[in-house]
Structure 1
Amino acid sequence: MTSRTPSRPGALGEFCWMDLKTRDLPGTAAFFAATLGWRFAVDETDWRRATKVFADGRPIGGVSDLADPVYPPGTPAHVAYYLAVDDVDRRTGAATAHGARVIVPPFDAGDQGRMATLVDPVGAAFSLWQARRFGGWDIPAHATGVPHRMVLVCERPGEARRFYREALGTALAHADFVAGSTTGWELEVGVTDLDRVVARARDHGQDPVVRPDETGGPVVRLTGPEGLTFRVRRVEEEAG
């Protein structure tokens, strides 16, 4: 896999993709289209004709239907996140050597790439992705409504930070590790109009939680109708 610029998410050694797993595609699509401006549509360039999420005209995620028999009954709606790595098998070995547990061992995802799914030592699930034909996020710096950073909330953020540095062989430049009573990775989305996001969410029956971050700036936790949650932060709009 060719490394992309490390100045934004999607580079080798950073998170590069997400998959929204839902039983309510129409409701999920309507909510996030209204609040974040995302578009849910069949990717006509993909021979599988998979439904994907587009922001600012670029694909930022896939969508999976939990009604598909491949998923065990009762699987809750959630978002799976993928880390771009140079070698899935080698990084899976490194992750398990540092305390991770393998959920799905490495396998080939058609001609698109190779992947594995694990749970880290603090209990957060993540997937590893070794690109072949598909590399994931390729986002220009000026785009809005797109992945900005990743945040891992857990009870032992220091331990989690060390784990990913040791498993990947490098520190995650576009991820934050935050202390909290819940555990899991969340995507932080950058927008230019945070007030509009909050207003649109309330129009759709959801009341976002607005909290200050470590700098005192507002961060919105935006939760859709099935409980899929993203963090939303105001970012400055750049020319170009």
Structure 2
Amino acid sequence: MAEVTEPYAPGTPCWVDVLAKDQQAALDLYADLFGWQGEVGPAEFGGYAVCTLKGKPVAGVMTAPAQEGQPVPPPVWTTYLSTDDADAAQLAITEAGGTVMMPVMDVGTIGRSLVAADPTGAVFGVWQPLDFRGAGIVNEPGALTWNELHTGDFAAATEFYRDVFGAEIAPMQMEGAGDYHSFNVNGRSVAGVANLHNDPAGTPAHWLTYFAADSTDTIVDTLTRNGGKALVPPFDMMAGRMAVLADPQGAIFAVINPKPM
């Protein structure tokens, strides 16, 4: 079991959650796909559900009612980057040309969070851990295994994430990587950066969440039986066999059966 026992370094993806129109349907789906355990949480936290795998937290599932005069937000997976100071991160985001969408808020005694968009339009979250550091298990079937920024402006993204988190974006040093880049924290690759021009025309900048799978094809079959779609059907690439999927409510994520390292 790839258990996380150390704090996430600032700038490292540490948590993911999905915003769903029907929270219970999402909980049931991901339990079927990945074996997660989870239930609607306390009302004082908006019913936020922390899902677990083998007793360790892996992802959140939440719902958000429409604000007065505003439409219900679309279903989406969000990647959260760790920080030591959410207030300082919020200030740095605005100074670096990003947009704060949900200002810093306290989440009980477990941490502090905010949601923002980088200058290229990719939305991400920021998490300052207190009692809760984030994903407690990674890099095994059913758990988070990779996060990937899709951007059409590498220069702007490089400057922004360096200024806000001290991260560096550099070409991936791997045969066959092409124009794929690595998102590095303290010299360690913690995420990927893909060229948005390789996505379907009209795709906005975004962060993509990857979950590990024993069998990518089995996950795709299970998802489609439950009403989801394979936006990119299973295919073999340098890191393993992957697919890009949309759940029945429209939230997009990827699965990969990684090649042995």
1:193 maps to: 215
SS state of the match for residue 38, structure 1? Answer: coil
Match of 2:195 in 1: 179
- Say if 1:77 and 1:226, in contact at 8 Å, map to a contact too: yes
What are the Cα deviations for residues 30-65 of structure 1, in whole angstroms up to 9, with x where unaligned? 332222333332569xx9674222234321222222
Aligned equivalent of 1:83: 81
1:179 CA drift (Å) = 1.6
Residues 1:108 and 1:17: Cα distance change in structure 2 (over 3 Å): same
> Residue in 2 aligned with 1:19?
17
Query: Quick one: structure 1 residues 212 and 167, their matched pair in 2 at CA, closer, same or farther if it must change by over 3 Å?
Result: farther
> Which amino acid counterpart does residue 99 of structure 2 have in structure 1?
R
Alignment of 1:3-82 (within 5 A): 5=6, 10-42=8-40, 50-67=48-65, 72-82=70-80
Residue 95 of structure 1: how far off its partner (Å) = 2.2
Alignment of 1:83-102 (within 5 A): 83-102=81-100
* Identical-pair percentage: 27
Q: Secondary structure at the match of 1:114?
A: strand
Match of 2:109 in 1: 111
**Residue 149 of structure 2 is aligned to residue 149 of structure 1:** no
TM-score by length of 2: 0.75
Amino acid at match of 1:107: M
Cα drift, residue 158 of structure 1: 4.3
The residue aligned with 2:165 is 168
Give the deviation of 1:140 after TM superposition.
Answer: 5.5
Question: In structure 2, do the counterparts of structure 1 residues 86 and 75 end up closer, same or farther at CA, with 3 Å as the change threshold?
Answer: same
Q: CA deviation at 1:217?
A: 4.0
Alignment-derived partner of residue 243 in structure 2: 220
The total of aligned residue pairs comes to 231
Supply the distance in 1 between the matched residues of 2:193 and 2:118 (Cα, whole angstroms).
13
CA apart distance, 1:11 = 4.1
Structure 1 gaps of 5+ residues are none
Flag structure 2 segments of 5+ consecutive residues without an equivalent: 169-183, 197-202
Superposed displacement of residue 150, structure 1: 0.5
Q: Give, in angstroms, the shift of residue 202 of structure 1.
A: 2.7
Q: For the Cα contact (< 8 Å) 2:234–2:243, is it kept in 1?
A: yes
Superimposed CA distance per residue, residues 99-150 of structure 1 (whole angstroms, 9 cap, x where no aligned partner): 1122233232222222222110000111221111111112255x32111110
SS at match of 2:93: helix
| Structure 2 residue identity aligned to 1:121 | P
The answer to whether the aligner puts 1:232 opposite 2:217 as a matched pair is: no
Secondary structure at the counterpart of residue 137 of structure 1: coil
Contact 1:39 1:53 in 2 (8 A): yes
**TM-score normalised by L of structure 1:** 0.81
